[in-house]
């Protein structure tokens, strides 16, 4: 089954919904394709229906945006996983009825990001989960565990800790890899302008911190996890103080008893669709890794394909919404809708975008992990969770002459499994950079190949 | 209603569950369990205290990691259909979930 639409938006998070709404208000026909049962993405992840009364302010805000988008005439198709794309704006996706093909005159990619797990001994043990997974369990009123250690960086770790504590779960500690206290003072002085007006957002983190300390949990900055222990599940962890490059300082190791470890060393943009379409990419450590190059209207190097939000560079929900609105207007304008009005709206968004970019820089300075988190694996630590390739095998392959990600992939099968390299990709890029002396910018990420997500072969058989 | 004793081993459901909601029944490897509407399989497995439910190609225990459908580490067999992501598949009444099946390329 194939159909034509005017504008297709991939992803129904803050960026995607904002883009769809902006374009629809200018008179464009917009279809949103989203992988999940309900719109909202990760940021606005909705609680199950029977928990709606307990929805947070954030979830209610997401629900309102979803309703506004629907009333503007936007078609939202849920449970549609887009796994292929080409430069002619042709998409392949799987939905409830199997494989569908869709062509759009303009495309806005708002595919979001995923959490970067550090690769350390024991990271594959059940009980090691992302902070986002822990939050999802809590929305469903289920404990991730009984004694939880949180390790990573950024405000999400603090917010997760606060949610766990509120649910009565023992949070044994929160380890922030960044030496954020020292850095904050420095930044407050240097970037006073960027922080101005951001109190509300900083407040969420600060409020969580206060709750954490009141509860008696340990909050340490400049600390990280270096190993998880256990036979078939997490039974404990080893933690250590980190230096300025986030490398563990020998002699500072401590053992912690816990049954759950929430890890999240920042976010990685999901740039897979833009890359597969052939849009040029660049490595931006400050934006989370490999991102599509974009013009001021967030159009990629392919005319008619836009990329907004965290999937095009980590910037948070507010930035995602501003980028979405801009790209929504620009795409509508490109297709001839309300040319004057669209241009006016784009101009009106510029001051907010500039302000947000300043906050984005501040955030990147504070919470971009150092190289140390890519050096924790031992020779027998699996780095490719799917194919079981170990750090030792990776090191041997690079020593034997593999000089880029594709050679590593072909020689070891690293990144060829079900996750399509999303879990090991940055670790491989960083290991290659460290061992070959090349820059991460030069090495880049895995090439994107269809299907971007593992699909049951039956889907292909039944589709024709 | 489900969390009689917060310290009791195996019961991970918090007690704030709305009592008006009727639980669903499903089976895990033949054993009948309860879940709530809107729960994914991974949520339901965590709720009954099961956190390891897959063997990797190297025969290591695996379970939930990303919780958002991108790592594919939480695969289960559902009503005979292999390799479904537990974190993305909603529990339905009578669903039969099989775990520890040696899936993904293992003969």
Residues 6+ apart with CB under 8 A from B77: B83, B84, B97, B98, B99, B101, B103
Across the interface, whether the CB atoms of B66 and A233 are under 8 A apart is answered no
Token pair of A337 as six digits: 């809708």
Instruction: Using a CB–CB cutoff of 8 Å, tell me whether A417 touches chain B.
Output: yes
Minimal Cβ distance to A142: which of B18, B43, B61: B43
pLDDT value for B4: 39
Chain centroid to CA A153: 13
Q: How far is CA A458 from CA A51, A81, A180, A357, B41, in A?
A: 35, 16, 50, 45, 22
3-state secondary structure of A184: helix
pLDDT value for A156: 86
**Gap between the Cα atoms of A387 and B58, Å rounded:** 8
Selection from B63, B93, B98, B92 nearest residue B78 by Cα: B98
pLDDT value for A394: 97
Q: Does the structure show a pLDDT above 70 at A354? A: yes
**A147 bridge partner residues:** A170
**Gap between the Cα atoms of A102 and A124, Å rounded:** 37
Q: Does the structure show a pLDDT above 50 at A301? A: yes
Q: How far is CA A224 from CA A32, A125, A228, A245, A376, in A?
A: 39, 17, 12, 12, 10
A455 versus A75: the higher-pLDDT residue is A75
Burial of A207-224, coded b for 16+ CB within 10 Å and e otherwise, reads ebbebbeeeebebebbbb
Across the interface, whether the CB atoms of A132 and B6 are under 8 A apart is answered no
Across the interface, whether the CB atoms of A388 and B56 are under 8 A apart is answered yes
For an interface test with B, the pick among A120, A418, A426, A462 (most B C-beta atoms closer than 10 Å) comes out as A418
Q: Which of residues 3 through 32 in chain B touch A, CB cutoff 8 A?
A: 6, 12-14, 16-18, 20-21
Q: Does the structure show a pLDDT above 70 at A414? A: yes
* Lowest model confidence (mean pLDDT) among A137-146, A450-459, B71-80: A450-459
pLDDT value for B18: 64
**A81 bridge partner residues:** A94
Segment holding B31, helix H or strand E: strand B31-35
Instruction: Using a CB–CB cutoff of 8 Å, tell me whether A419 touches chain B.
Output: yes
At B103, the pLDDT band (50, 70, 90 cuts) reads very low
3-state secondary structure of A29: coil
Shortest alpha-carbon distance between residue B99 and chain A (Å)? 14
At B107, the pLDDT band (50, 70, 90 cuts) reads very low
Rounded mean pLDDT of chain A? 92
Q: What is the mean pLDDT of residues A384-397?
A: 97
Shortest alpha-carbon distance between residue A126 and chain B (Å)? 5
Across the interface, whether the CB atoms of B37 and A388 are under 8 A apart is answered no
3-state secondary structure of A31: strand
Chain centroid to CA A386: 20
Reported pTM? 0.92
Contact (Cβ atoms closer than 8 angstroms) between residue A453 and residue A81: yes
pLDDT value for B3: 38
At A202, the pLDDT band (50, 70, 90 cuts) reads low
**What digits encode the pLDDT tens for the residues A164-187?**
998 889 999 999 999 876 666 566
At A159, the pLDDT band (50, 70, 90 cuts) reads confident
Contact (Cβ atoms closer than 8 angstroms) between residue A143 and residue A169: yes
């Amino acid at each position: 089954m194939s159909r034509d639409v005017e504008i297709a938006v991939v992803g129904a998070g803050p960026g995607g919904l904002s883009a769809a709404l902006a374009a629809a208000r200018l008179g464009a026909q917009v279809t949103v394709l989203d992988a999940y049962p309900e719109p909202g993405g990760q940021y606005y992840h909705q609680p199950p229906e029977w928990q709606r009364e307990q929805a947070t302010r954030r979830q209610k805000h997401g629900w309102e945006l979803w309703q506004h988008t629907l009333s503007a005439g936007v078609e939202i198709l849920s449970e549609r996983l887009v796994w292929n794309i080409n430069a002619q704006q042709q998409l392949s996706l799987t939905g409830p009825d199997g494989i569908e093909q869709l062509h759009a005159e303009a495309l806005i990619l708002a595919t979001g990001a995923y959490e970067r797990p550090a690769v350390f001994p024991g990271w594959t043990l059940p009980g090691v989960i992302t902070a986002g997974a822990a939050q999802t369990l809590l929305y469903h009123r289920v404990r991730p565990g009984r004694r939880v250690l949180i390790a990573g960086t950024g405000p999400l770790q603090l917010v997760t800790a606060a949610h766990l504590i509120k649910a009565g779960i023992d949070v044994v500690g929160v380890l922030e890899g960044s030496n954020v206290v020292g850095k904050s003072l420095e930044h407050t002085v240097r970037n006073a302008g960027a922080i101005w007006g951001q109190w509300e957002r900083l407040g969420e983190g600060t409020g969580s911190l206060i709750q954490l300390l009141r509860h008696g949990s340990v909050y340490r900055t400049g600390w990280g996890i270096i190993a998880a222990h256990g036979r078939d599940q997490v039974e404990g962890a080893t933690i250590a103080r980190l230096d300025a490059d986030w490398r563990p300082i020998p002699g500072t190791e401590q053992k912690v008893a816990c049954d759950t470890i929430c890890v999240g060393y920042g976010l990685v943009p999901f740039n897979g669709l833009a890359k597969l379409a052939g849009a040029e990419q660049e490595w931006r450590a400050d934006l989370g890794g490999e991102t599509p190059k974009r013009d001021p209207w967030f159009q990629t190097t392919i005319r008619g394909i836009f990329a907004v939000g965290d999937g095009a560079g980590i910037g948070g929900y507010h930035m995602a919404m501003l980028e979405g609105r801009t790209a929504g207007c620009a795409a509508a304008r490109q297709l001839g809708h309300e040319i004057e009005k669209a241009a006016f709206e784009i101009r009106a968004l510029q001051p907010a975008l500039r302000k947000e970019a300043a906050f984005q820089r501040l955030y990147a300075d504070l919470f971009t992990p150092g190289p140390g988190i890519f050096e924790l694996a031992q020779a027998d630590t699996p780095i490719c969770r799917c194919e079981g390739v170990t750090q030792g095998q990776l090191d041997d392959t690079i020593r034997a002459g593999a000089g880029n990600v594709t050679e590593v992939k072909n020689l070891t099968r690293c990144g060829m499994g079900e996750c399509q390299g999303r879990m090991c990709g940055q670790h491989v890029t960083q290991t290659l950079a460290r061992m070959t002396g090349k820059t991460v910018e030069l090495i880049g990420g895995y090439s994107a190949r269809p299907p971007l997500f593992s699909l049951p072969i039956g889907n292909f058989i039944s589709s024709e | 209603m489900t969390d009689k004793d917060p310290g009791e081993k195996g019961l991970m459901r918090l007690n704030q569950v709305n009592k008006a909601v009727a639980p669903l029944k499903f089976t895990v490897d033949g054993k009948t369990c309860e879940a709530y509407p809107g729960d994914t399989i991974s949520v339901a497995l965590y709720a009954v205290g099961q956190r390891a439910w897959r063997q990797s190609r190297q025969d290591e225990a695996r379970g939930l990691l990303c919780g958002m459908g991108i790592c594919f580490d939480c695969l289960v067999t559902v009503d005979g259909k292999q390799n479904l992501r537990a974190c993305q598949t909603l529990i339905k009444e009578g669903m039969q979930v099989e775990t520890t099946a040696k899936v993904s390329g293992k003969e």
